[in-house]
Amino acid sequence: MQARHRRSRTTLLATLTTALAAVAVGVVAWPGADRADAAPAAFAHPGVTVSQGQLDFAKAKVAAGAQPWKGAFDQMMASKYADLNRTPKPWATVECGSYSNPNYGCTDEREDAIAAYTDALAWYITRDDRYAKKSIALMDAWSATIKDHTNSNAPLQTGWAGSSWPKAAEIIKYTYSGGWANEARFRTMLRDVYLPEVINGSNSNGNWELSMMEAAVGISVFLEDRTSYDKAMAKFRTRTAAYVYLASDGELPKTVPSQNLDTKAKIVSYWQGQSTFVTGLSQETCRDFTHTGYGISAISHVAETSRIQGTDLYGTDVGERLRQALGFHSRYELGEAPPSWLCGGTVKRGLGPVTEVGYNALHTRLGVAMTNTQKLTEQQRPAGSNNLFVAWETLTHAENPS
């Protein structure tokens, strides 16, 4: 099976190399781009970041007491997110300024959404329906209350919370037979409150739009909204190409056309003052690794959802950019001193628990050697939550062949 995947990947990368050579700087135009990313004729469920097969694999490993899955499960169950006494804290209007200041409901929303997903995972693995009911209670509380997101961080906040809600909803709707009376109201919340805030993207730092597209793709899967899925995926492809540099892009990184980064000076400024471009570098590397990690994580999540839905992006430029970004940042996250040309010789580490999904897809499934990423991933296990939109990925994706 691995040999077949390697051959497939080699063919795809050969196609990609040919395409890259023909792509003008700043313009993204992949062969068949008008159809390759199209929503499936029938969506797969559960199908947002985690598939039925991946859930079954994790469940079996935990039941067998195998590591690292059992340790990851225990970590999740001991967290505040799995607390069955948790009281939802919904807000009608969530107001989030820059860096969540002011913070009127921002933390409550993100953490209740993560808790809903945590409880959904706990339900699936334990089959204790108290967790399914708690997940539903959290989703119901917010769908009965929230009307809007406001202030400067509204798009990003909506992207973060909107990435977790559909992951929870997919597991509950498609694996729990106990009923969900207010599912239609929850769907209306996603369609009317969340999707309009994220679907048109952002011209801010790249992690914003990537997280927003993660939310838009996940919501589109749950709503079975093919039009929104296609729109979000197109924006995701353009933004991913503009977020991680490959030498084959040319002298300068690709850009998002709406940002009008039409000179080298503008591009360098947008890339945090970095003027030397090397494969694997991110648009936010010289800002800090934490925000870069948000972008890398969102890329892996969308790629994973796309694969579950029938289009494997890991063999395209998305997979190559993800592989290179993971390797590049893992190297310095592990402690290697940056050269003087990189961010002035100083980097702000703190990549976060964001490597499991991409590492599993590229290494476990496709057999790609990823020495630095492997070392960092194994060192960080079990990967917990970043308390924003990433949670329990050692449990769901470590060495998971499904």
- C-alpha 353/C-alpha 76 separation (Å) is 14
Letter for the amino acid at 5? Answer: H
Annotate the chain with three-state secondary structure. CHHHHHHHHHHHHHHHHHHHHHCCCCCCCCCCHHHHCCCCCCCCCCEECEEHHHHHHHHHHHHCCCCCHHHHHHHHHCCHHHCCCCCCCCCCEEEECHHHCCEECHHHHHHHHHHHHHHHHHHHHHCCHHHHHHHHHHHHHHHCCCCEEECCCHHHHHHHHHHHHHHHHHHHHHHCCCCCCCHHHHHHHHHHHHHHHHCCCCCCCHHHHHHHHHHHHHHHHHHCCHHHHHHHHHHHHHHHHHHECCHHHCCCCCCCHHHCCCCHHHHHHHCCCCCCCCCCCECCCCCCHHHHHHHHHHHHHHHHHHHHCCCCHHHCHHHHHHHHHHHHHHHHHCCCCCCCCCHHHCCCCCCCCCCHHHHHHHHHHCCCCCHHHHHHHHHHCCCCECCCCCECHHHHHCCCCC
Cα–Cα distances in Å, from 172 out to 52, 79, 141? 12, 20, 15
Contact 347, 286 (CB under 8 A): yes
Report helix angle 289-308 to 317-333, nearest 10.
150
Letter for the amino acid at 376? Answer: L
Q: Which long-range contacts (CB under 8 A, 24 or more apart) does 12-17 make?
A: 12/315, 12/316, 13/315, 13/320, 16/315, 16/316, 16/317, 16/320, 17/248
Residue 36: the pLDDT is 67
Nearest to 117 by CA among 185, 166, 184: 166
- C-alpha 89/C-alpha 68 separation (Å) is 33
- C-alpha 152/C-alpha 156 separation (Å) is 9
- C-alpha 100/C-alpha 332 separation (Å) is 28
Output the pTM of the full model: 0.91
List beta partners, residue 93. 148
Structure tokens at 263: 């000179």
- C-alpha 353/C-alpha 376 separation (Å) is 10
- C-alpha 194/C-alpha 212 separation (Å) is 10
Mean pLDDT in order along the chain per 10 residues (402 residues): 40 40 34 62 97 98 98 98 98 95 97 98 98 98 98 98 98 98 98 98 97 98 98 98 98 97 98 98 98 98 98 97 98 98 98 98 97 98 98 98 94
Phi, psi of 244 (to 5 degrees): -125, 125
Contact 329, 59 (CB under 8 A): no
